[in-house]
Amino acid sequence: LYSKICSHAMWWGTLGTVRPFPNFNSEKDARDIQTALESKDSDVNTLVRILTNRNNAQRQSIAESYRNLTQKELCPALKKAVSGGLEQLMLGLMMTPSQFDAHRLRQAMEGIGTDEESLLAVLCTKSPQQLKDATIAYKQEFGRYLENDLISETSKDFTKLVLAILKKEELNSKEMVDYQLINQDVKALNDAVNGKKKDPAPWIQVLTTRDSNHLNRVLSRLEDLRGETVDKTVQSHFSGDLRLGFRTLVVSIPSIPLFLAQRLHSNIKKSSLVQGILISHSEEDLLCVRIEYRRLTNTSLYSTLQKEYKGEMQQALLALCRSEDL
């Protein structure tokens, strides 16, 4: 039942923790936010309470009502009221999902050196349509082409891999199980690591042009054939960023929620990474991530956040996480 419930293909978008707020009134929210921002030390508690308890579409509507009410933009006002990690979180909440993805990708490439792990974590957990939307938002937000930035920030076969993930198209038929193609793919992946010179091309091609149900069958058969996990095969035969890329794909393909739960568990003290996952997945599949986190760590994500964070940041993260898993 769990795998049925958390299957993206079937239930895409219904397993979020943040739902539309009932009896929503954007004008009232905008007035309450204006009062909170104008109070002596800014009433941050009210800002957090309202913005984390509305879904993204409602937040966009609040921003519009705030503009009509005050003739000012909401984001610059929030920037003045909060700072540090909380500022980053509040501004993240005010972006559309595709703008937020674009900002996370830019963040991974900005400054000295690229954060390949963060780059892959966004690219490998988004649907082809979400990646198309993020590409458009990236150009609008930064006046730059995402593809060009990926090319200049990566090299060789790793560049080919990230571009293939960005443009991923699921070319296999989803209506039926194509056993012939499964056998063909297993053979291509196996042959590519059997020779003296390892060939990443078939791995890039297969892992970025098939849907997850097909790939799960392929990877499972490959494991049976080789008598080892696919992760081990990747570790033994590839190196550097390309190895990291293939490992991220083979871990995230069977279960994006499990991949994200593992990422949260290893990085729970990294506030910006935790925020990124919670905001990005709060209306999609964060319930599945919570279930996997509980399974993986024997503690709930909610109580872990309660322990690791304090004050308004804690309040905001708990609101996005939404509830305890006993």
pLDDT at 14: 67
Q: Nearest-CA neighbor of 188 among 208, 198, 173, 203?
A: 203
pLDDT at 99: 97
Asked if residues 25 and 58 have their Cβ atoms less than 8 Å apart, the reply is no
What are the residue ranges spanned by the domains of the chain? 26-94, 98-167, 179-253
Q: Which residue has the tokens 């081990």?
A: 232
pLDDT at 323: 87
- The pLDDT averaged over each successive group of 10 residues in the chain (326 residues) is 45 73 95 91 89 95 96 94 92 96 95 89 94 96 96 94 92 84 96 88 95 94 95 94 96 94 96 96 94 96 96 94 85
As a three-state string, the secondary structure of the chain is CHHHHCCHHHHCCCCCCCCCCCCCCHHHHHHHHHHHHHCCCCCHHHHHHHHHCCCHHHHHHHHHHHHHHHCCCHHHHHHHHCCHHHHHHHHHHHCCHHHHHHHHHHHHHCCCCCCHHHHHHHHCCCCHHHHHHHHHHHHHHHCCCHHHHHHHHCCHHHHHHHHHHHCCCCCCCCCCCCHHHHHHHHHHHHHHHHCCCCCHHHHHHHHHCCCHHHHHHHHHHHHHHHCCCHHHHHHHHCCHHHHHHHHHHHHHCCCHHHHHHHHHHHCCCCHHHHHHHHHHHCCCCHHHHHHHHHHHHCCCHHHHHHHHCCHHHHHHHHHHHCCCCC
Q: Which fold has domain 26-94?
A: Annexin V; domain 1 (1.10.220)
CATH of domain 179-253: 1.10.220.10
Match domain 98-167 to its CATH number in 1.10.4160.10, 1.10.220.10, 3.30.428.10, 3.30.450.20.
1.10.220.10
